[in-house]
Structure 1
Amino acid sequence: MVEKSIKRIYTFLIFMFLYAPIIVLIIFSFNNSKSRGVWNGFTLKWYIELFKDREILKALYNTLLIAISSSIISTILGTFAAIGIYNMNGIFKKIILNLNYLPVLNPDILTAVSLMALFRFSKLEFGLFTMLLSHITFCVPYVILSILPKLKQMNIYLYEAAMDLGATPFYALRKVIIPQIMPGIITGGLMAFTLSIDDFVISFFNTGHGVSNLSIAIYSMARRGINPVINALSTLMFISMLILLFTINKRNDKDLIEGGR
Protein backbone atom coordinates (compact mmCIF):
# COMPACT_ATOMS: atom_id res chain seq x y z
CA MET A 1 0.00 0.00 0.00
CA VAL A 2 2.77 2.41 0.94
CA GLU A 3 4.73 1.46 -2.18
CA LYS A 4 1.70 2.19 -4.41
CA SER A 5 1.24 5.59 -2.74
CA ILE A 6 4.90 6.45 -3.28
CA LYS A 7 4.63 5.47 -6.95
CA ARG A 8 1.52 7.62 -7.40
CA ILE A 9 3.13 10.61 -5.70
CA TYR A 10 6.28 10.17 -7.79
CA THR A 11 4.23 9.95 -11.01
CA PHE A 12 2.22 13.02 -10.01
CA LEU A 13 5.39 15.02 -9.34
CA ILE A 14 6.89 14.00 -12.70
CA PHE A 15 3.80 15.07 -14.61
CA MET A 16 3.52 18.23 -12.53
CA PHE A 17 7.11 19.10 -13.40
CA LEU A 18 6.42 18.52 -17.11
CA TYR A 19 3.10 20.33 -17.37
CA ALA A 20 3.39 23.10 -14.77
CA PRO A 21 5.05 25.54 -17.24
CA ILE A 22 2.27 24.90 -19.79
CA ILE A 23 -0.41 25.44 -17.14
CA VAL A 24 1.21 28.73 -16.10
CA LEU A 25 1.42 29.82 -19.74
CA ILE A 26 -2.28 29.05 -20.28
CA ILE A 27 -3.28 30.94 -17.13
CA PHE A 28 -1.24 34.01 -18.02
CA SER A 29 -2.66 34.06 -21.56
CA PHE A 30 -5.77 35.47 -19.81
CA ASN A 31 -3.77 37.96 -17.71
CA ASN A 32 -4.74 41.62 -18.13
CA SER A 33 -1.12 42.67 -17.65
CA LYS A 34 1.88 42.29 -19.95
CA SER A 35 3.87 41.09 -16.96
CA ARG A 36 4.48 37.34 -16.88
CA GLY A 37 4.81 37.29 -13.11
CA VAL A 38 1.93 39.47 -11.83
CA TRP A 39 -1.75 38.62 -12.19
CA ASN A 40 -3.82 41.73 -12.97
CA GLY A 41 -7.25 40.34 -13.74
CA PHE A 42 -8.96 38.19 -16.38
CA THR A 43 -9.10 39.29 -20.01
CA LEU A 44 -9.45 37.93 -23.56
CA LYS A 45 -7.71 40.88 -25.18
CA TRP A 46 -4.55 38.92 -26.06
CA TYR A 47 -6.65 36.46 -28.08
CA ILE A 48 -8.27 39.37 -29.88
CA GLU A 49 -4.89 41.02 -30.46
CA LEU A 50 -3.57 37.73 -31.83
CA PHE A 51 -5.90 37.87 -34.83
CA LYS A 52 -4.91 41.49 -35.46
CA ASP A 53 -1.14 40.91 -35.41
CA ARG A 54 -0.15 40.43 -39.06
CA GLU A 55 3.47 39.54 -38.22
CA ILE A 56 2.46 36.66 -35.94
CA LEU A 57 -0.26 35.45 -38.31
CA LYS A 58 2.19 35.46 -41.22
CA ALA A 59 4.73 33.52 -39.16
CA LEU A 60 1.99 31.08 -38.12
CA TYR A 61 0.96 30.63 -41.76
CA ASN A 62 4.56 29.90 -42.79
CA THR A 63 4.97 27.52 -39.84
CA LEU A 64 1.85 25.51 -40.66
CA LEU A 65 2.57 25.52 -44.39
CA ILE A 66 6.10 24.20 -43.86
CA ALA A 67 5.05 21.74 -41.15
CA ILE A 68 2.15 20.23 -43.10
CA SER A 69 4.07 20.10 -46.40
CA SER A 70 7.26 18.68 -44.89
CA SER A 71 5.39 16.11 -42.78
CA ILE A 72 3.40 14.84 -45.78
CA ILE A 73 6.42 14.67 -48.10
CA SER A 74 8.76 13.21 -45.48
CA THR A 75 6.12 10.63 -44.47
CA ILE A 76 5.75 9.46 -48.08
CA LEU A 77 9.52 9.36 -48.64
CA GLY A 78 10.15 7.77 -45.24
CA THR A 79 7.52 5.07 -45.80
CA PHE A 80 8.99 3.87 -49.09
CA ALA A 81 12.52 4.21 -47.69
CA ALA A 82 11.63 2.12 -44.63
CA ILE A 83 10.09 -0.61 -46.80
CA GLY A 84 13.18 -0.60 -49.01
CA ILE A 85 15.55 -0.77 -46.03
CA TYR A 86 13.52 -3.57 -44.44
CA ASN A 87 13.84 -5.69 -47.58
CA MET A 88 17.64 -5.24 -47.76
CA ASN A 89 20.05 -7.86 -46.48
CA GLY A 90 23.60 -8.07 -45.19
CA ILE A 91 26.15 -5.37 -44.61
CA PHE A 92 24.50 -2.92 -47.02
CA LYS A 93 21.39 -2.79 -44.81
CA LYS A 94 23.52 -2.00 -41.73
CA ILE A 95 25.33 0.77 -43.62
CA ILE A 96 22.05 2.38 -44.71
CA LEU A 97 20.63 2.14 -41.17
CA ASN A 98 23.73 3.78 -39.71
CA LEU A 99 23.53 6.54 -42.33
CA ASN A 100 19.91 7.08 -41.33
CA TYR A 101 20.93 7.40 -37.66
CA LEU A 102 23.48 10.14 -38.41
CA PRO A 103 21.00 13.03 -38.98
CA VAL A 104 19.20 12.01 -35.78
CA LEU A 105 22.39 11.94 -33.70
CA ASN A 106 23.96 15.01 -35.32
CA PRO A 107 23.60 18.32 -33.47
CA ASP A 108 21.01 20.56 -35.16
CA ILE A 109 23.62 23.25 -35.73
CA LEU A 110 25.75 20.86 -37.80
CA THR A 111 22.79 19.82 -39.95
CA ALA A 112 21.72 23.44 -40.37
CA VAL A 113 25.16 24.68 -41.46
CA SER A 114 25.63 21.69 -43.79
CA LEU A 115 22.31 22.32 -45.51
CA MET A 116 23.04 26.04 -45.76
CA ALA A 117 26.39 25.28 -47.44
CA LEU A 118 24.68 22.86 -49.84
CA PHE A 119 22.02 25.40 -50.81
CA ARG A 120 24.65 28.10 -51.36
CA PHE A 121 26.73 25.70 -53.47
CA SER A 122 23.61 24.84 -55.49
CA LYS A 123 22.89 28.59 -55.87
CA LEU A 124 19.35 28.24 -54.56
CA GLU A 125 17.61 31.40 -53.43
CA PHE A 126 17.02 31.21 -49.68
CA GLY A 127 13.41 31.43 -48.63
CA LEU A 128 10.36 29.26 -48.09
CA PHE A 129 11.58 26.58 -50.52
CA THR A 130 14.97 26.08 -48.87
CA MET A 131 13.32 25.98 -45.45
CA LEU A 132 10.92 23.30 -46.73
CA LEU A 133 13.77 21.22 -48.15
CA SER A 134 15.74 21.46 -44.91
CA HIS A 135 12.72 20.36 -42.85
CA ILE A 136 12.09 17.39 -45.14
CA THR A 137 15.74 16.34 -44.83
CA PHE A 138 15.53 16.70 -41.06
CA CYS A 139 12.26 14.76 -40.65
CA VAL A 140 12.69 11.77 -43.01
CA PRO A 141 15.04 9.78 -40.69
CA TYR A 142 12.54 10.04 -37.82
CA VAL A 143 9.74 8.75 -40.04
CA ILE A 144 11.90 5.79 -41.10
CA LEU A 145 12.69 4.95 -37.47
CA SER A 146 8.97 5.08 -36.61
CA ILE A 147 7.95 2.70 -39.41
CA LEU A 148 10.72 0.08 -39.23
CA PRO A 149 9.47 -1.49 -35.94
CA LYS A 150 6.01 -1.98 -37.48
CA LEU A 151 7.56 -3.69 -40.49
CA LYS A 152 9.44 -6.05 -38.17
CA GLN A 153 6.17 -6.93 -36.39
CA MET A 154 4.38 -7.66 -39.67
CA ASN A 155 3.86 -11.18 -40.98
CA ILE A 156 6.45 -11.47 -43.74
CA TYR A 157 4.31 -13.94 -45.69
CA LEU A 158 1.33 -11.60 -46.18
CA TYR A 159 2.89 -9.86 -49.17
CA GLU A 160 3.88 -13.15 -50.80
CA ALA A 161 0.38 -14.55 -50.20
CA ALA A 162 -1.20 -11.53 -51.88
CA MET A 163 1.11 -11.95 -54.88
CA ASP A 164 0.25 -15.66 -55.11
CA LEU A 165 -3.45 -14.74 -55.20
CA GLY A 166 -2.84 -12.55 -58.25
CA ALA A 167 -2.27 -9.10 -56.74
CA THR A 168 0.15 -6.76 -58.49
CA PRO A 169 3.13 -5.52 -56.44
CA PHE A 170 1.63 -2.04 -56.11
CA TYR A 171 -1.82 -3.39 -55.18
CA ALA A 172 -0.28 -5.68 -52.55
CA LEU A 173 1.71 -2.76 -51.18
CA ARG A 174 -1.36 -0.51 -51.02
CA LYS A 175 -3.85 -3.06 -49.67
CA VAL A 176 -1.64 -5.33 -47.55
CA ILE A 177 1.58 -3.65 -46.43
CA ILE A 178 0.39 -0.06 -45.88
CA PRO A 179 -2.60 -0.98 -43.65
CA GLN A 180 -0.34 -3.20 -41.52
CA ILE A 181 2.17 -0.41 -40.87
CA MET A 182 -0.34 2.46 -40.73
CA PRO A 183 0.15 3.12 -36.96
CA GLY A 184 3.87 3.61 -37.60
CA ILE A 185 3.12 5.89 -40.56
CA ILE A 186 0.78 8.03 -38.45
CA THR A 187 3.33 8.19 -35.64
CA GLY A 188 6.08 9.19 -38.07
CA GLY A 189 3.88 11.85 -39.67
CA LEU A 190 2.94 13.34 -36.30
CA MET A 191 6.56 13.31 -35.19
CA ALA A 192 7.63 15.05 -38.41
CA PHE A 193 4.87 17.64 -37.95
CA THR A 194 5.88 18.30 -34.33
CA LEU A 195 9.60 18.51 -35.13
CA SER A 196 8.94 20.93 -37.97
CA ILE A 197 6.81 23.26 -35.84
CA ASP A 198 9.34 23.15 -33.00
CA ASP A 199 12.50 23.63 -35.09
CA PHE A 200 14.48 26.85 -34.80
CA VAL A 201 18.15 26.26 -35.65
CA ILE A 202 17.66 24.62 -39.05
CA SER A 203 14.96 27.15 -39.98
CA PHE A 204 17.09 30.11 -38.89
CA PHE A 205 20.07 29.11 -41.04
CA ASN A 206 18.05 28.16 -44.13
CA THR A 207 15.46 30.90 -44.43
CA GLY A 208 15.56 34.03 -46.57
CA HIS A 209 14.91 37.71 -46.01
CA GLY A 210 11.34 38.37 -44.90
CA VAL A 211 10.51 34.68 -44.41
CA SER A 212 10.15 33.49 -40.82
CA ASN A 213 8.28 30.86 -38.86
CA LEU A 214 7.04 31.12 -35.30
CA SER A 215 10.31 30.09 -33.67
CA ILE A 216 12.24 32.76 -35.58
CA ALA A 217 9.54 35.38 -34.89
CA ILE A 218 9.57 34.61 -31.15
CA TYR A 219 13.37 34.72 -31.11
CA SER A 220 13.24 38.19 -32.71
CA MET A 221 10.73 39.33 -30.09
CA ALA A 222 12.89 38.09 -27.21
CA ARG A 223 15.24 41.06 -27.64
CA ARG A 224 12.49 43.56 -26.90
CA GLY A 225 10.29 41.38 -24.68
CA ILE A 226 7.87 38.56 -25.50
CA ASN A 227 4.43 39.79 -26.51
CA PRO A 228 1.65 38.17 -24.39
CA VAL A 229 -0.04 37.39 -27.71
CA ILE A 230 2.42 34.47 -27.91
CA ASN A 231 0.86 33.02 -24.74
CA ALA A 232 -2.55 33.06 -26.41
CA LEU A 233 -1.18 31.50 -29.59
CA SER A 234 0.68 28.81 -27.63
CA THR A 235 -2.50 27.98 -25.71
CA LEU A 236 -4.51 27.55 -28.91
CA MET A 237 -1.77 25.40 -30.45
CA PHE A 238 -1.56 23.23 -27.33
CA ILE A 239 -5.34 22.68 -27.28
CA SER A 240 -5.33 21.90 -31.02
CA MET A 241 -2.58 19.28 -30.57
CA LEU A 242 -4.49 17.71 -27.65
CA ILE A 243 -7.64 17.43 -29.76
CA LEU A 244 -5.62 15.92 -32.62
CA LEU A 245 -3.98 13.34 -30.33
CA PHE A 246 -7.27 12.36 -28.67
CA THR A 247 -8.91 11.98 -32.10
CA ILE A 248 -6.10 9.75 -33.40
CA ASN A 249 -6.02 7.64 -30.22
CA LYS A 250 -9.80 7.21 -30.32
CA ARG A 251 -9.60 6.14 -33.96
CA ASN A 252 -6.80 3.66 -33.20
CA ASP A 253 -8.81 2.19 -30.30
CA LYS A 254 -11.82 1.84 -32.60
CA ASP A 255 -9.70 0.08 -35.24
CA LEU A 256 -8.33 -2.33 -32.59
CA ILE A 257 -11.85 -3.17 -31.39
CA GLU A 258 -13.07 -3.76 -34.94
CA GLY A 259 -9.94 -5.80 -35.68
CA GLY A 260 -10.59 -7.95 -32.61
CA ARG A 261 -14.04 -8.78 -33.91
Structure 2
Amino acid sequence: MSMARRNSWWGWLALLFGFGFLYLPILLVIIYSFNSSRLATVWVSFSFSAYSQLFNDRQLLDAAWLSLKIAFWTATASMVVGTMAAMAMTRFKRFPTKTVFGALVTAPLVMPEVIIGLSILLMLVSMGGLFGLPSKGQVAIWIAHVTFTLSFVTVVVSSRLQEMDRSLEEAAMDLGANRVKVFFLITLPIIAPALLSGWLLAFTLSLDDVVIASFMAGPSSTTLPMKVFSSVRMGVSPKINALATVMVLAVSTVAFIGWWISARAEKRRQRDRQLALQENG
Protein backbone atom coordinates (compact mmCIF):
# COMPACT_ATOMS: atom_id res chain seq x y z
CA MET A 1 0.00 0.00 0.00
CA SER A 2 1.41 3.39 -0.99
CA MET A 3 2.05 6.14 1.53
CA ALA A 4 -0.58 8.43 -0.06
CA ARG A 5 -3.29 5.75 0.14
CA ARG A 6 -2.32 4.93 3.72
CA ASN A 7 -2.59 8.60 4.70
CA SER A 8 -5.97 8.75 2.96
CA TRP A 9 -7.25 5.81 4.99
CA TRP A 10 -6.00 7.40 8.21
CA GLY A 11 -7.72 10.66 7.24
CA TRP A 12 -11.04 8.93 6.58
CA LEU A 13 -10.71 6.97 9.83
CA ALA A 14 -10.05 10.13 11.82
CA LEU A 15 -13.01 11.82 10.13
CA LEU A 16 -15.35 8.94 10.91
CA PHE A 17 -14.13 8.83 14.51
CA GLY A 18 -14.73 12.56 14.88
CA PHE A 19 -18.25 12.43 13.44
CA GLY A 20 -19.04 9.34 15.50
CA PHE A 21 -17.82 11.00 18.68
CA LEU A 22 -19.99 14.05 17.99
CA TYR A 23 -23.18 12.53 16.60
CA LEU A 24 -23.40 8.97 17.91
CA PRO A 25 -24.65 10.09 21.37
CA ILE A 26 -27.32 12.23 19.68
CA LEU A 27 -28.34 9.27 17.53
CA LEU A 28 -28.65 7.07 20.63
CA VAL A 29 -30.85 9.66 22.33
CA ILE A 30 -33.11 9.74 19.27
CA ILE A 31 -33.33 5.94 19.14
CA TYR A 32 -34.13 5.59 22.86
CA SER A 33 -36.83 8.26 22.59
CA PHE A 34 -38.94 5.58 20.87
CA ASN A 35 -38.49 3.15 23.76
CA SER A 36 -41.46 1.86 25.76
CA SER A 37 -39.41 1.26 28.90
CA ARG A 38 -39.63 3.50 31.94
CA LEU A 39 -35.83 3.55 32.00
CA ALA A 40 -34.20 5.76 29.42
CA THR A 41 -31.26 3.42 28.76
CA VAL A 42 -32.97 -0.01 28.74
CA TRP A 43 -34.53 -0.95 25.42
CA VAL A 44 -37.80 -2.91 25.56
CA SER A 45 -39.85 -2.22 22.43
CA PHE A 46 -40.73 0.49 19.96
CA SER A 47 -43.29 2.97 21.28
CA PHE A 48 -44.38 6.63 21.17
CA SER A 49 -45.18 6.67 24.88
CA ALA A 50 -42.31 9.05 25.68
CA TYR A 51 -43.73 11.62 23.26
CA SER A 52 -47.17 11.22 24.80
CA GLN A 53 -45.68 11.89 28.23
CA LEU A 54 -43.78 14.87 26.86
CA PHE A 55 -46.78 16.61 25.32
CA ASN A 56 -48.84 15.97 28.47
CA ASP A 57 -46.25 17.56 30.75
CA ARG A 58 -47.53 21.14 31.05
CA GLN A 59 -44.60 22.35 33.17
CA LEU A 60 -42.03 21.13 30.67
CA LEU A 61 -43.93 22.64 27.73
CA ASP A 62 -44.28 25.98 29.53
CA ALA A 63 -40.54 26.00 30.22
CA ALA A 64 -39.84 25.24 26.56
CA TRP A 65 -42.13 28.05 25.39
CA LEU A 66 -40.49 30.48 27.82
CA SER A 67 -37.01 29.52 26.60
CA LEU A 68 -38.05 29.97 22.96
CA LYS A 69 -39.49 33.42 23.65
CA ILE A 70 -36.43 34.58 25.56
CA ALA A 71 -34.09 33.12 22.92
CA PHE A 72 -35.99 34.84 20.08
CA TRP A 73 -35.94 38.29 21.67
CA THR A 74 -32.37 37.81 22.85
CA ALA A 75 -31.19 36.94 19.35
CA THR A 76 -33.10 39.87 17.83
CA ALA A 77 -31.77 42.42 20.33
CA SER A 78 -28.23 41.04 20.09
CA MET A 79 -28.33 41.22 16.30
CA VAL A 80 -29.42 44.87 16.32
CA VAL A 81 -27.06 46.07 19.04
CA GLY A 82 -24.22 43.84 17.83
CA THR A 83 -24.52 45.25 14.31
CA MET A 84 -24.35 48.78 15.69
CA ALA A 85 -21.26 47.86 17.72
CA ALA A 86 -19.65 46.21 14.69
CA MET A 87 -20.32 49.31 12.58
CA ALA A 88 -18.72 51.48 15.26
CA MET A 89 -15.63 49.25 15.36
CA THR A 90 -15.15 48.90 11.60
CA ARG A 91 -16.65 52.00 9.95
CA PHE A 92 -16.07 54.86 12.35
CA LYS A 93 -12.76 56.64 12.47
CA ARG A 94 -10.57 56.05 15.47
CA PHE A 95 -11.97 57.71 18.60
CA PRO A 96 -10.24 58.03 21.98
CA THR A 97 -12.00 55.09 23.65
CA LYS A 98 -12.25 52.78 20.63
CA THR A 99 -9.79 50.25 22.04
CA VAL A 100 -11.56 50.17 25.39
CA PHE A 101 -14.92 49.93 23.64
CA GLY A 102 -13.79 46.91 21.61
CA ALA A 103 -12.36 45.23 24.70
CA LEU A 104 -15.58 45.74 26.67
CA VAL A 105 -17.77 44.46 23.83
CA THR A 106 -15.74 41.26 23.40
CA ALA A 107 -15.06 40.67 27.12
CA PRO A 108 -17.95 38.16 27.59
CA LEU A 109 -16.22 35.86 25.09
CA VAL A 110 -13.53 34.98 27.63
CA MET A 111 -15.38 35.68 30.88
CA PRO A 112 -16.86 32.72 32.82
CA GLU A 113 -20.64 32.57 32.79
CA VAL A 114 -20.72 32.42 36.57
CA ILE A 115 -19.05 35.83 36.76
CA ILE A 116 -21.40 37.25 34.12
CA GLY A 117 -24.51 35.96 35.87
CA LEU A 118 -23.41 37.14 39.31
CA SER A 119 -22.32 40.59 38.11
CA ILE A 120 -25.56 41.21 36.19
CA LEU A 121 -27.62 40.04 39.16
CA LEU A 122 -25.81 42.47 41.45
CA MET A 123 -26.24 45.25 38.90
CA LEU A 124 -29.98 44.66 38.56
CA VAL A 125 -30.41 44.49 42.33
CA SER A 126 -28.54 47.77 42.83
CA MET A 127 -30.31 49.53 39.94
CA GLY A 128 -33.76 48.15 40.64
CA GLY A 129 -34.57 50.97 43.02
CA LEU A 130 -33.49 53.59 40.49
CA PHE A 131 -35.04 52.44 37.22
CA GLY A 132 -37.50 49.79 38.32
CA LEU A 133 -35.63 46.98 36.58
CA PRO A 134 -36.55 43.53 37.95
CA SER A 135 -33.70 41.55 39.47
CA LYS A 136 -35.48 38.25 38.81
CA GLY A 137 -37.77 36.96 36.09
CA GLN A 138 -38.06 36.87 32.30
CA VAL A 139 -36.85 40.43 31.72
CA ALA A 140 -33.80 39.86 33.89
CA ILE A 141 -32.94 36.67 31.98
CA TRP A 142 -33.39 38.54 28.69
CA ILE A 143 -31.05 41.36 29.78
CA ALA A 144 -28.42 38.89 30.94
CA HIS A 145 -28.63 36.82 27.76
CA VAL A 146 -28.34 39.90 25.54
CA THR A 147 -25.22 40.93 27.46
CA PHE A 148 -23.79 37.44 27.09
CA THR A 149 -24.54 36.89 23.38
CA LEU A 150 -23.85 40.43 22.17
CA SER A 151 -20.11 39.84 21.82
CA PHE A 152 -20.59 36.76 19.64
CA VAL A 153 -22.81 38.64 17.19
CA THR A 154 -20.40 41.60 17.14
CA VAL A 155 -17.45 39.37 16.23
CA VAL A 156 -19.37 37.61 13.43
CA VAL A 157 -20.68 40.84 11.89
CA SER A 158 -17.35 42.66 12.31
CA SER A 159 -15.48 39.97 10.39
CA ARG A 160 -17.95 40.27 7.51
CA LEU A 161 -17.74 44.07 7.48
CA GLN A 162 -13.95 43.95 7.40
CA GLU A 163 -14.01 41.63 4.36
CA MET A 164 -16.58 43.78 2.54
CA ASP A 165 -15.43 45.91 -0.40
CA ARG A 166 -15.87 49.46 0.85
CA SER A 167 -15.66 50.85 -2.67
CA LEU A 168 -19.31 49.85 -3.13
CA GLU A 169 -20.35 52.11 -0.26
CA GLU A 170 -18.11 54.92 -1.49
CA ALA A 171 -19.53 54.65 -5.00
CA ALA A 172 -23.09 54.88 -3.66
CA MET A 173 -22.21 57.97 -1.61
CA ASP A 174 -20.53 59.55 -4.66
CA LEU A 175 -23.82 59.11 -6.50
CA GLY A 176 -25.65 61.10 -3.83
CA ALA A 177 -26.85 58.51 -1.31
CA ASN A 178 -26.54 59.37 2.37
CA ARG A 179 -25.09 56.99 4.95
CA VAL A 180 -28.47 55.67 6.08
CA LYS A 181 -29.53 54.84 2.53
CA VAL A 182 -26.16 53.25 1.80
CA PHE A 183 -26.49 51.04 4.88
CA PHE A 184 -29.97 49.76 4.03
CA LEU A 185 -29.47 49.38 0.26
CA ILE A 186 -25.80 48.36 0.00
CA THR A 187 -24.32 47.25 3.31
CA LEU A 188 -27.28 45.40 4.83
CA PRO A 189 -27.92 43.02 1.87
CA ILE A 190 -24.22 42.14 1.73
CA ILE A 191 -23.88 41.38 5.44
CA ALA A 192 -27.28 39.66 5.66
CA PRO A 193 -25.74 36.12 5.86
CA ALA A 194 -23.54 37.27 8.76
CA LEU A 195 -26.58 38.77 10.49
CA LEU A 196 -28.45 35.51 10.08
CA SER A 197 -25.47 33.54 11.41
CA GLY A 198 -25.16 35.85 14.39
CA TRP A 199 -28.88 35.60 15.08
CA LEU A 200 -28.80 31.81 15.01
CA LEU A 201 -25.71 31.73 17.23
CA ALA A 202 -27.30 34.06 19.79
CA PHE A 203 -30.55 32.07 19.67
CA THR A 204 -28.70 28.80 20.32
CA LEU A 205 -26.58 30.22 23.15
CA SER A 206 -29.64 31.68 24.87
CA LEU A 207 -31.68 28.52 24.45
CA ASP A 208 -28.84 26.39 25.84
CA ASP A 209 -27.86 28.54 28.82
CA VAL A 210 -28.20 27.17 32.36
CA VAL A 211 -25.68 29.06 34.51
CA ILE A 212 -26.71 32.65 33.80
CA ALA A 213 -30.43 31.83 33.81
CA SER A 214 -30.05 30.19 37.23
CA PHE A 215 -29.00 33.55 38.70
CA MET A 216 -31.87 35.47 37.07
CA ALA A 217 -34.75 32.98 37.21
CA GLY A 218 -37.68 33.67 39.50
CA PRO A 219 -40.48 31.43 40.77
CA SER A 220 -42.39 31.57 37.47
CA SER A 221 -39.50 31.90 35.05
CA THR A 222 -37.84 28.49 34.91
CA THR A 223 -36.27 27.95 31.52
CA LEU A 224 -36.12 24.63 29.68
CA PRO A 225 -32.40 23.91 30.36
CA MET A 226 -32.97 24.55 34.07
CA LYS A 227 -36.00 22.25 34.05
CA VAL A 228 -34.09 19.49 32.27
CA PHE A 229 -31.04 19.88 34.51
CA SER A 230 -33.15 19.60 37.66
CA SER A 231 -35.08 16.59 36.35
CA VAL A 232 -32.04 14.51 35.32
CA ARG A 233 -30.62 14.62 38.84
CA MET A 234 -33.07 11.84 39.74
CA GLY A 235 -32.36 9.92 36.53
CA VAL A 236 -33.00 10.50 32.84
CA SER A 237 -36.66 10.11 31.95
CA PRO A 238 -37.71 8.80 28.51
CA LYS A 239 -39.61 12.05 27.89
CA ILE A 240 -36.30 13.91 28.18
CA ASN A 241 -35.05 11.81 25.27
CA ALA A 242 -38.20 12.72 23.36
CA LEU A 243 -37.67 16.40 24.18
CA ALA A 244 -34.07 16.21 23.00
CA THR A 245 -35.22 14.60 19.74
CA VAL A 246 -37.76 17.36 19.13
CA MET A 247 -35.15 20.03 19.87
CA VAL A 248 -32.60 18.41 17.55
CA LEU A 249 -35.19 18.28 14.77
CA ALA A 250 -36.20 21.91 15.32
CA VAL A 251 -32.62 23.21 15.49
CA SER A 252 -31.58 21.17 12.45
CA THR A 253 -34.51 22.57 10.48
CA VAL A 254 -33.67 26.15 11.41
CA ALA A 255 -29.98 25.59 10.67
CA PHE A 256 -30.81 24.10 7.27
CA ILE A 257 -33.06 27.04 6.42
CA GLY A 258 -30.31 29.46 7.48
CA TRP A 259 -27.72 27.58 5.39
CA TRP A 260 -30.08 27.57 2.40
CA ILE A 261 -30.70 31.32 2.63
CA SER A 262 -26.98 32.03 3.02
CA ALA A 263 -26.12 29.77 0.08
CA ARG A 264 -28.68 31.51 -2.13
CA ALA A 265 -27.37 34.93 -1.12
CA GLU A 266 -23.79 33.87 -1.82
CA LYS A 267 -24.71 32.49 -5.26
CA ARG A 268 -26.63 35.68 -6.06
CA ARG A 269 -23.66 37.81 -5.00
CA GLN A 270 -21.24 35.77 -7.12
CA ARG A 271 -23.58 35.99 -10.11
CA ASP A 272 -23.90 39.76 -9.76
CA ARG A 273 -20.13 40.07 -9.46
CA GLN A 274 -19.59 38.03 -12.64
CA LEU A 275 -22.16 40.12 -14.52
CA ALA A 276 -20.46 43.30 -13.35
CA LEU A 277 -17.05 42.00 -14.50
CA GLN A 278 -18.48 41.04 -17.88
CA GLU A 279 -20.07 44.47 -18.33
CA ASN A 280 -16.83 46.23 -17.36
CA GLY A 281 -14.84 43.95 -19.61
Flag whether TM exceeds 0.5 (same fold): yes
Q: Does 1:152 align with 2:156?
A: no
Query: Where in structure 2 are the equivalents of 1:9-20 lying within 5 Å?
Result: 9-20=13-24
Shift of 1:91: 6.3
* Range that drifts further, 196-205 or 88-97: 88-97
Q: Does 1:27 align with 2:31?
A: yes
CA distance in 2, matches of 1:236, 1:67: 17
Give the root-mean-square deviation of aligned CA atoms.
1.4
Shift of 1:240: 1.4
Provide the identity percentage. 31
Distance change in 2, residues 1:221/1:237 (3 Å)? same
CA distance in 2, matches of 1:234, 1:204: 20
Partners of 2:40 and 2:236 within 8 A in 1: no
Partners of 1:218 and 1:226 within 8 A in 2: no
Q: Does 1:258 align with 2:263?
A: no
Query: Where in structure 2 are the equivalents of 1:49-64 lying within 5 Å?
Result: 49-64=53-68
CA distance in 2, matches of 1:134, 1:26: 32
- Corresponding residue of 2:10: 6
- Corresponding residue of 2:231: 221
Query: Where in structure 2 are the equivalents of 1:33-112 lying within 5 Å?
Result: 33-86=37-90, 87-89=92-94, 92-112=97-117
CA distance in 2, matches of 1:213, 1:90: 41
Deviations 1:118-176 (A, max 9, x none): 11111233111111111111111110001111111111222222122121221111011
Shift of 1:47: 1.0
CA distance in 2, matches of 1:88, 1:205: 39
Rg larger in structure: 2
Shift of 1:255: 2.5
Distance change in 2, residues 1:91/1:12 (3 Å)? farther
Partners of 2:108 and 2:151 within 8 A in 1: yes
Partners of 1:29 and 1:228 within 8 A in 2: yes
* Range that drifts further, 58-67 or 182-191: 182-191
CA distance in 1, matches of 2:243, 2:196: 25
CA distance in 2, matches of 1:243, 1:23: 16
Shift of 1:90: 6.5
Question: What secondary structure does 1:122 align onto?
Answer: helix
Q: Does 1:189 align with 2:189?
A: no
Shift of 1:20: 1.3
CA distance in 2, matches of 1:149, 1:91: 22
- Corresponding residue of 2:119: 114
- Corresponding residue of 2:278: none
Question: What secondary structure does 2:234 align onto?
Answer: coil
Partners of 2:40 and 2:237 within 8 A in 1: no
- Corresponding residue of 1:173: 183
Question: What secondary structure does 1:219 align onto?
Answer: helix
Instruction: List structure 1 runs of 4+ shifted beyond 4 angstroms.
Output: none
Shift of 1:241: 1.4
Deviations 1:153-202 (A, max 9, x none): 11122222212212122111101111121121111111100100110000
**Counterpart AA for 1:36:** A
Q: Does 1:206 align with 2:216?
A: yes
* Range that drifts further, 155-164 or 75-84: 155-164
* Range that drifts further, 128-137 or 156-165: 156-165
TM-score, length basis structure 1: 0.95
